[in-house]
Amino acid sequence: MGCLLAPPGRAVRAAGGGRVVKYEKGAERPEPTPEAPESAGAGNGAPADPDGLLATALALAAEGVKVFPCHRVVDGLCNCDEPYSCKSPGKHPRKWKAKGGVIKKNGSKDATTDSDEIRTWWLKWGGKHGALNIGQTLAGRAVVDVDVAEGKPGEATWEALSADQDVPKTLTYRTGRGGLQMLFRLPEGETGGKADGYSNTLGTAVDFKTGPHAYVMVPGSKTDDVYTVVHDAETVSLPGWVADLARTAQPGTGGSVVAGRPPGSQLSDLLSLPADDPARGNNWLAAVAGHYAGDAWKFAPPRGWSWYSDMVRAANAASADPIGEADLLKTMRSIWDTEARQHEQAEVAAVVQLLQPGGAFFHNVPEVPPAVWGHGEEILWAEGEALLIGAPQGVGKTTLAHQIIRARIGLQPTVLGFPVAPGKRVLLLAMDRPAQTRRAGARIFAGDDPHRLSERLVVWEGPPPADLARHPETLMRMCEQAGADTVVVDSLKDAAIGLSDDEVGAGWNRARQFALREGVQVLELHHTVKRGANGAEPNTLADIYGSTWITSGAGSVISLWGEAGDPIVSLRHLKQPFAEVGPFRLLHDHTTGTTTVHHTADLVALAGASRGGISALDAAKAIFETEKPSAAQKEKARRRLAKLVEAGQLEAKAGPTGAGTVYRAPSGALF
C-alpha cells in the first residue's frame, strides 16, 4: 500500500467533515474545499474546531461508535495532574460528570454516543481551552497499529508481513508520533478482543487493537503532534490473512509462536531461539535486522552498513537452516534503507522546523532582554542566555544556586534583592560532591513541602551518563526527560573532562546552546584560577578556569571571591547581558543557607552627606573600593549616577571649572 511513514505533510481540513487530511510531499493534491465557518460542526455556540476533533467525534458517535474524553498534550506535557511522570501523555481518560451528576472515570468502559455529552466536553476542555483529546472504542472494529516512534521497526515489520498479500485501502490515521493506524470492520457477529480469539500483536512494533474496551484516538487529538487522516476511505472488512496472524500471535510479546514468526520482540529473545526453531524465518530475520539497523543509526556518525551487515549475517548463520543469500541481502537492504530514510527525514524535518524568517528574528526585539534573575537594566541572568557563576572552593556557589533554584520553582520571590522569574521545573545536576550538596540544600529546603519539591525539582546525582562536551545533545535530552525548563550544572568540571582544551570548551558551549535553543535556562557553577600578586581577587574573564569558549558562550558571568567558609564574600559581575550589577559584599548565613547583600555603596546617601555633591570619580572609589579606579570603573560609576538622576534621586550640575559634572541630592547646595 506504499510507504506512509514519512514525516507528516501539510494539513488541509475538509469543510464540514471535520477530518484533517495530510498530503505527502510531491503527491498530487486536490483543490481544498472552502473552509467552513469558524464554529461549523460545533453547535450550541461551541468554540472553533481547527483540528476537526469535535466534528469527527460527533460523526463517529452518529455512526454508533462510542467515544470518551482524554487529556491532551500542551507545550510538550500532558495536562493531567502528573505531567512529568505521565506514562501515556494525551492518551489516558479524563474524569467527567455525566447527565444526572454521575461521575465517569473508567475511560472506554464509560464511553458514550450522546452528542450532548460530547459537546459538553468540548465547551469545558476543548476549543479555546485546547485541553481535550477524545478516544474512540473498537467494538466490532480492529486497528493495525504500525509504530515508528523512537526508532521502532514497525514499518519494516509491516512490509515483511504484508509482502505478497492483498492490503485493501481503508480508513487510515497518522498518529501523533508519526505511526500508522489502519481501521477494519470485523466479521458480522464479532465484537473483537479475546472473546473472538484475537491477540494484541502482529509482530515487532505492529499492534492489533480490537474489542469494546480497546481504543484509539479520534483524529484531531494531539500527543506529540495532531492525529490526522491520511486515507479518507471507507472502513473495509478485515483481510483474512490479518485475522489469521492476529489469532496465531502470542499475546503481549510482539511475536508469534507459529507460522515462522518470532516469539519475542526483544533482540535477546530473538537471538536466543534454538538454531532449529521454525520461527527463525524471514519475519524473524526482519525483526533482527530492524534491531541492528536501529542500533546502528543511534550513533553519530552511524556505525554503518558494514557493522550492520556483519551482525545480521552472524545471527542468520547461527540458524540450522539460514536464509539464502539473495533473500538475506534483500531483507537487509530493505530494513537498512527504511531506517536510513527515516533518519534522514527526521534530520531534515528537524532542520526545517528550526528555520525562521529574518523579519521575525530581527524585529520586535525588546531593548532590554527579559530577565530570569534581575530587574530593569540590572540583569544577572538573561532569558535564553547561560549564567556562569565562578568561584574557588567553599565560598558559596552551591548555596547561592540553591536560593536561585528555590526562587525558580516559586518558593521565594527574590535572591540578593533581585526578582527571579518562576519557571516550571528545575533539573539539578548534583555531580560535584553530591553528599555535601544534599547537606547544604537541606538547610534552605528544610521547611518546604516535600511534595512541592518533588513536583518542581528533580535531581541527577553523580557523574552524567556521558561526557556532556563530547556528546553535546545529552544535556538537552536529560532536560527533556526530566521535563525541566531550567538546568543547574554543579559543576562544569564534572560535566566535561579537559575544560582547558578548546575543543572541550567548544563542545560544552554546543551542549549549553542546544539546551538554550529548546527553551531551557542554563545555570553553570564553575571554578576560578588565582591570578595577580598574592592571588588577588579575579576581575577579568581570563580568571575563569578553562577554555575561552566557556565564557564566550555565556551571557552572564559572576565571580564570587573569598576564603573557604568565610561568611562574607565579594561578588563581581564580569560579563553582563545589559548593565553591570554590583560589585557587592555578600553575607552567607550558614545556619539557614541564605545569602544577603551585606554592603554596597549607597550613592544617594553619599551625595547627601557631601556638601558639594560627588563626582563620578568619588562614586567609583566607593563602588570599587579603590583609591585609583580605572577609566572603565569611572564610566560604570557615571552610568549608575545617571540612572539615579533619571529616577529623580539625584540631580546633576556642572561643577567648578575643570571639575566636570557633580551629583548631589535634590535638596543640597552646590559650592
CATH number, domain at 569?
A: 3.40.50.300
For position 456, what pLDDT does the model report?
Answer: 94
Segment (H or E) for 161 = helix 154-162
Residue 506 contacts by C-beta under 8 Å, 6 or more apart in sequence?
A: 547, 549
Alpha helices in 249-374 (DSSP H): 267-271, 282-298, 305-317, 325-354, 358-362
Which residue segment(s) compose the domain that 392 sits in?
Answer: 372-598
Q: In this structure, are 306 and 244 located in the same domain?
A: no
Q: Could you tell me if residue 366 is inside a domain?
A: no
Percent of the chain with pLDDT over 70: 86
Beta strands in 48-179 (DSSP E): 67-70, 73-74, 77-78, 96-97, 103-104, 133-146, 172-174
Residue 494 contacts by C-beta under 8 Å, 6 or more apart in sequence?
A: 429, 431, 432, 463, 464
Query: Mean pLDDT lowest for which of 64-68, 381-385, 577-581?
Result: 577-581
For position 250, what pLDDT does the model report?
Answer: 47
Q: Could you tell me if residue 257 is inside a domain?
A: no
Bond from prior residue into 366 cis (ω within 30 degrees of 0)? no
Between 296 and 224, the higher pLDDT residue: 224
For position 492, what pLDDT does the model report?
Answer: 94
Q: In this structure, are 623 and 586 located in the same domain?
A: no
Cell numbers for 534, please give them: 598574592
For position 531, what pLDDT does the model report?
Answer: 59
Residue 337 contacts by C-beta under 8 Å, 6 or more apart in sequence?
A: none
Segment (H or E) for 605 = helix 603-609
SS3 of 117-143: HHHHHHHHHCHHHCCCEEEEEEEEEEE
Q: 499 near 546, Cβ under 8 Å?
A: yes
Q: In this structure, are 217 and 239 located in the same domain?
A: yes
Q: In this structure, are 395 and 482 located in the same domain?
A: yes
Cell numbers for 197, please give them: 480469539
Residue range 105-131: mean pLDDT, rounded? 91
Q: List strands edge to edge, sheet with 457-461.
A: 457-461, 426-430, 486-490, 521-526, 387-390, 556-561, 568-575, 584-589, 594-599
Q: In this structure, are 590 and 612 located in the same domain?
A: no
pLDDT in tens, 473-493: 899 989 998 999 999 999 899
For position 301, what pLDDT does the model report?
Answer: 55
For position 30, what pLDDT does the model report?
Answer: 34
Q: Which of 251, 278, 309 is the last residue of a domain?
A: 251
Residue 71 contacts by C-beta under 8 Å, 6 or more apart in sequence?
A: 78, 79, 80, 89, 90, 92, 93, 94, 131, 133
Q: In this structure, are 587 and 636 located in the same domain?
A: no
Q: Could you tell me if residue 300 is inside a domain?
A: yes
- Cα–Cα dist 264/242, whole Å: 19
Q: Which of 251, 281, 307 is the last residue of a domain?
A: 251
Residue range 612-631: mean pLDDT, rounded? 83
- Cα–Cα dist 556/664, whole Å: 32
Residue from 476, 474, 409, 419 nearest 444 by CA: 409
Q: Could you tell me if residue 609 is inside a domain?
A: yes
- Cα–Cα dist 136/212, whole Å: 10
Is pLDDT of 300 > 70? no
Is pLDDT of 370 > 60? yes
C-alpha separations of 325 from 191, 260, 317, 332, 560 in Å: 44, 19, 11, 10, 67
Is pLDDT of 359 > 90? no
- Cα–Cα dist 66/586, whole Å: 64
For position 304, what pLDDT does the model report?
Answer: 82
Q: Could you tell me if residue 363 is inside a domain?
A: no
C-alpha separations of 13 from 72, 114, 176, 627 in Å: 20, 25, 17, 73
Which 3 state secondary structure label does DSSP give 511? helix
For position 193, what pLDDT does the model report?
Answer: 86
Spell out a b/e string for 408-446, using b for 16 or more CB atoms within 10 Å of the CB, else e. bbebbeebbebebbebbbbbbbbbbebeebeebbebbbe
pLDDT in tens, 224-283: 999 999 999 999 999 999 998 888 754 443 333 333 334 445 777 788 778 887 888 888
Residue from 274, 145, 147 nearest 215 by CA: 145
pLDDT in tens, 396-419: 899 999 999 999 999 999 999 999
- Cα–Cα dist 410/287, whole Å: 48
Percent of the chain with pLDDT over 90: 42
Residue from 340, 309, 347, 350 nearest 155 by CA: 340
Q: Count other C-beta atoms under 10 Å from residue 169's C-beta.
A: 11
Q: Could you tell me if residue 470 is inside a domain?
A: yes
Q: In this structure, are 189 and 46 located in the same domain?
A: yes
Q: Could you tell me if residue 1 is inside a domain?
A: no
Mean pLDDT (the chain, rounded)? 83
Q: Could you tell me if residue 422 is inside a domain?
A: yes
Residue range 501-515: mean pLDDT, rounded? 94
- Cα–Cα dist 651/12, whole Å: 63
For position 208, what pLDDT does the model report?
Answer: 93
Q: In this structure, are 489 and 634 located in the same domain?
A: no
Q: In this structure, are 441 and 454 located in the same domain?
A: yes
Residue where the block lists cell 468502559: 109
Q: 596 near 586, Cβ under 8 Å?
A: yes
For position 545, what pLDDT does the model report?
Answer: 92
Query: Mean pLDDT lowest for which of 35-44, 156-165, 472-481, 527-536?
Result: 35-44
- Cα–Cα dist 562/396, whole Å: 9
Q: Which of 217, 251, 285 is the last residue of a domain?
A: 251
Angle formed by the axes of helices 282-298 and 154-162, nearest 10°: 160
Structurally, how many domains does the chain consist of?
4
What CATH number is associated with residue 611? Answer: 1.10.10
Alpha helices in 418-491 (DSSP H): 434-445, 450-456, 473-482
Q: In this structure, are 342 and 195 located in the same domain?
A: no
Residue range 500-527: mean pLDDT, rounded? 94
pLDDT in tens, 18-61: 333 333 333 333 333 333 333 334 444 445 788 999 999 999 99
Q: In this structure, are 332 and 245 located in the same domain?
A: no
Q: In this structure, are 594 and 607 located in the same domain?
A: no
